[in-house]
Amino acid sequence: MPKWIHELRPTLVLAVPIMLGQLSQMLMSVIDSMMIGHVGTVELAAASFTGAVFGVVFMGCIGLLVPGSVLVAREHGAGRDDLAGLWLRHARALAWGAGGLLAAGLVATLLVADRLGQPAEVIAVMRPFFVLISLSLIPTLLFQADRQFAEALGRPWPPLVILFACVALNVGLNWILIGGKLGAPALGLAGAGVATLVARIVSVVAIRFWLRGFAPFATAVRSAGASRIEAGRMREMLALGLPMGAALFFEGGAFSAAAVMAGWLGTVELAAHQIAISCAAFTFMVPLGISIALGVRTGRAVGAGESWRVRPMALGATLATVITAGISTLAFVVAGKTVAQSFVKDDPAVVLLAAKVLVIAAIFQLFDGLQVVFAGALRGLSDVRVPLVSAFIAFWVLALPCGWWFGVRGGGGLEGIWIALAGGLAASTLVLGWRLRVLTRQA
């Protein structure tokens, strides 16, 4: 049996619950967009702008916190599970600090919202929803820290169950608060924000309750509660996390900047962009789950002194990504219009434009998946600088200027912006694939 087949199964065993967890987190935003879209196009456009700004910050924070799982996995691979709780303590502290500062920064952006060139009617309805979603960043990151700890120690399913339950809670609260059911006031867009914030707070309470009662984690959880923050450990986490977070920030920031440019084109374009980016971000959670699992397994292999296993691990993950990307590509091409209509039925212009953009999104699904999987393997090898430089050049030097030139200035519209983003993803994929090949050949 080829080595990559042997390594693929344990990668998928770990990746499936992780990707389902990522999908369920993203599902909250997708459901918000779908339920808000039935309120009106302006509200959907406001959700698009809010989601774009929140999304770039959230993606950066995922990278910032991922070292927690990598370092726990290394200790586990080396047989030092007693140190896992120390890393959990530092990951939680980092989640509190980054979440608090960035939530405050997001709220502060409302002071300059009128200067970002968005339609006036969008800004008028956006503010309460924007504040509520910004505050939800704190519980989101706290849950992420605890969830990654459980995944690194081989217990990914309980956090997944908690996430699915909170998605169901979010749907129920949306139904009650957006339209004013069961005697509640009809809050519209703000009701979706309240529902999301409450569901994310409940998820943190639930996972903490489970961790404290789960016997195999008892020693580590007690250690996390009793330990102090050590400057050396925090520096080690930040040395890995800041470049990872910055790389994801550059990528997510490019898509958020694309949303801003879509707003320059008009409300229809912004609403169509929200539909397309919601779908693309949803399917992206599959390769992201594979990437996180690959990073954890790579970290374990390095900790165990078995770096030679990284290359077959990466090859198996690559082939799995090609297959899953092909499925989502086919879905976008064949059912793009049907998907767009599930978000908004009463605006044919939005549906038509979103369906066209989904075809472009289908094309870059493969590049988007491969580049994040390659980055996951490099993360496990502690190679974080090349992905950082690659993301900056691919998206901010190439994709965004080309998107503005062809989409906004050149008249290509929203489709021109998305074609440029696809080109940036392709460039990033080539660089990261080359880097991984070089490092694993040496291993």
Q: What is the pLDDT of residue 216?
A: 64
DSSP string, 185-234: ---THHHHHHHHHHHHHHHHHHHHHHHHH-GGGHHHHHHHHH----HHHH
**Which of 245, 248, 261, 196 lies closest to 401 in space, CA to CA?**
261
Domain limits for position 186: 3-442
- Structure-token match 């586990």, residue found: 76
- Structure-token match 């290509």, residue found: 412
Q: What is the pLDDT of residue 132?
A: 93
Q: What is the pLDDT of residue 205?
A: 95
Instruction: Give 10-residue mean pLDDT values along the chain (443 residues).
Output: 76 82 72 73 78 78 79 71 76 91 88 71 83 93 90 82 89 87 82 91 93 72 68 82 80 78 84 83 83 81 76 89 88 85 79 88 85 85 83 89 87 88 89 89 62
155: left (phi over 0), alpha (psi -120 to 50) or beta: beta
3 state DSSP class of 38? coil
Residues whose CB falls within 8 Å of the CB of residue 235, separated by 6 or more in sequence, listed in order: none
d(CA 332, CA 279): 9
Strand ranges inside 108-164, DSSP E:
none
Domain count, the chain: 1
The three-state DSSP-derived secondary structure of 358-427 is: HHHHHHHHHHHHHHHHHHHHHHHCCCCHHHHHHHHHHHHHHHHHHHHHHHHHCCCHHHHHHHHHHHHHHH
CA dihedral 92, 96, 101, 107 (to 10 degrees): 120
